[in-house]
Amino acid sequence: MIDLHAHIIPGIDDGPASLDEARELVVAAAAAGTTHIVATPHMNPGQFPNTADGIRQAFDGCRAALEQASGIRLAVAAEVRVGLDTVELVERDAIPWLGEYLEQPVMLVEFPHTHLPTEACNVVRWLVTRGIVPMIAHPERNREIMQNYQRLRELADLGCLFQLTASAMVGGFGPVAQQVGRKMVEDNLVFALASDMHNTRFRPPALGPGGRVIEKIVGSSRVADLVFDNPWKIVSPLFASPAIDLVV
């Protein structure tokens, strides 16, 4: 399975604190059937002020150890907290893209969990006009969308794609997020299922349990779209270089 949203780089956000913890996380992901992971650390100026260069450097520092421990192929992008500063990052080509969709760059976009700020929505609109595809991370957990599903449809109409978090489908973020996730699946609004893994205890790496819930709703071929075909359509350019054990 292809996991396009994961916090596995140690020490740069609220993911693993050490290389040992990161190793434990990717080994658990491999045991759960994941073969490819895109590391997507937070880029959030207020909380985790990571830069594209800093993320790349941190990734290069842990990639070999994590690939060798798990056998998983790794690539790197970022989960970008959308705001006015995002415009400047795009202008100076300082966004680590998640990949491409229909030949357009894709940005993994995070809103605050509390609401959809008008300013951030305007920036998402601006991204679309610039030919950038926003993939919205875990909309099922956004309180404004939980209260008003129409807001999700508005984002879909703009051209956003949606990433659903697997653990939300087994109640990991409460019953409302689970119901919203279920409705997104029924309405065919989910493009990819991902783990958003942070640690093995509370934010785990497995896609399977969530996938099995989705399978009961829409069948196994649709689940395959969400964990294989669709994410690969986007992230495959990130994996274009040979595996690290072939390089050295």
Least gap, CB of 137 to Fe ion (angstroms): 6
Give the nearer residue to Fe ion in terms of CB position, either 114 or 221.
Answer: 114
Least gap, CB of 78 to Fe ion (angstroms): 10
Interface ranges with Fe ion (CB under 5 A): 79, 196
Q: 247: buried, middle or exposed (CB in 10 Å: 19+, 13-18, 0-12)?
A: exposed
Give the nearer residue to Fe ion in terms of CB position, either 202 or 246.
Answer: 202
Nearest position to Fe ion, beta carbon: 196
Residues 6+ apart with CB under 8 A from 60: none
Give the nearer residue to Fe ion in terms of CB position, either 79 or 225.
Answer: 79
Give the nearer residue to Fe ion in terms of CB position, either 113 or 130.
Answer: 113
Least gap, CB of 195 to Fe ion (angstroms): 9
Tokens standing for residue 155 = 């984002």
Q: Rounded to 5 degrees, what are φ and ψ at 57?
A: -65, -45
CA atoms within 13 A on the CB side of 197: 32
Give the nearer residue to Fe ion in terms of CB position, either 8 or 127.
Answer: 8
Amino acid code (one letter) for 143: R
Least gap, CB of 62 to Fe ion (angstroms): 17
36: left (phi over 0), alpha (psi -120 to 50) or beta: beta
Distances (CA, A) of 162 to 67, 68, 244: 27, 31, 30
Least gap, CB of 40 to Fe ion (angstroms): 6
Euclidean distance between CA atoms 104 and 139, whole angstroms:
22
